[in-house]
Amino acid sequence: MSVLEYTAENHVGLVTLNRHEARNSMNPELIVRLAELWTRLEEDESVRSVVLTGAGDSTFCSGFDLGTTIPVITGSRQPQDEFEEAIFEDRDLMRRATLTGFDLGKPVIAAVNGHAIAGGMELMLACDLRVVAKGVKLGLSEVALGLVPGMGGTALLQRHVPNALAMELLLCAQPILSDDIAPSGLFNRLVDREAVLSESLTIAEVIAGNAPLAVRAARNVVRRSIDLTESEALQLESEAGAQLSQTKDAVEGPLAFMEKRSPNFQGK
């Protein structure tokens, strides 16, 4: 049984962490295969949006596997197979697997159908949109283990929630229920567990139906504008608009609207 499953339909990719017997924790094999998949999806122009979820109905992802991954990266155990050797030799694989500093260039929707703890929450934070199940636990438990969130948790959390809440999650290392954290604006939808995947796929399909170059440009401006001044952000937006105005999709969109038909966007 593969530790990672991937399917694609109608320009939407579906990525499933498939270690439900281990709470979808990221062992070395899953890390390597996930890093490789993200690289392929970055280059696959036929995929316009991606949904990431976990197998089973208990846990989205519980972070890095404490029995395999953590001992290897801390040096308490020598690598024992090709996947352990890979993450020992190339620490960037863990960062790429969790989308830490690695941009697919297309929207990723986290379908959080279960608990998201430690690296699992960091993986959720790295996604562009989040659909979360009611009654699941979200938390960063690293400091309770003598570690620190190293895949974006400390760097990204305060960008998504108020400082006081970020500090509580980071320093107390105690999970908070999704229902209680919903008012913070951390995620886009809070739905029943059985509706998480369908809701996420619906969002992904809507995005995939829009002009891919325009989606990419809008997403890029938002991501790059976080630390810019207002004038710098407006300049970035203006440049993106000027570039898009020269594309075939920019002609097709208004034309389809006037002709009362669905647009046929080509990403050109």
- Please identify which of the residues 142, 168, 230, 232 carries the catalytic annotation: 142
Residue type, 173: A
Three-state SS for 154-209 is HHHHHHHCCHHHHHHHHHHCCCEEHHHHHHHCCCCEEECHHHHHHHHHHHHHHHHC
Q: What share of the chain is helix, strand, coil (3-state, %, to 5)?
A: 50, 15, 35
* β strands within 55-184, DSSP E: 59-61, 108-112, 115-117, 129-133, 137-139, 176-177
Burial 178-200 (b: 16+ CB within 10 A, else e): beebeeeebbbbbbebeebbebb
Burial 139-150 (b: 16+ CB within 10 A, else e): bbbbeeeeeebb
CA distance 66 to 51: 26
CB 131 within 8 Å of CB 187: yes
- Please identify which of the residues 29, 84, 122, 199 carries the catalytic annotation: 122
Per the annotation, the verdict on 45 as an active-site residue is no
Strands laid side by side in the 176-177 sheet: 59-61, 115-117, 137-139, 176-177
Per the annotation, the verdict on 42 as an active-site residue is no
Active site residues: 122, 142
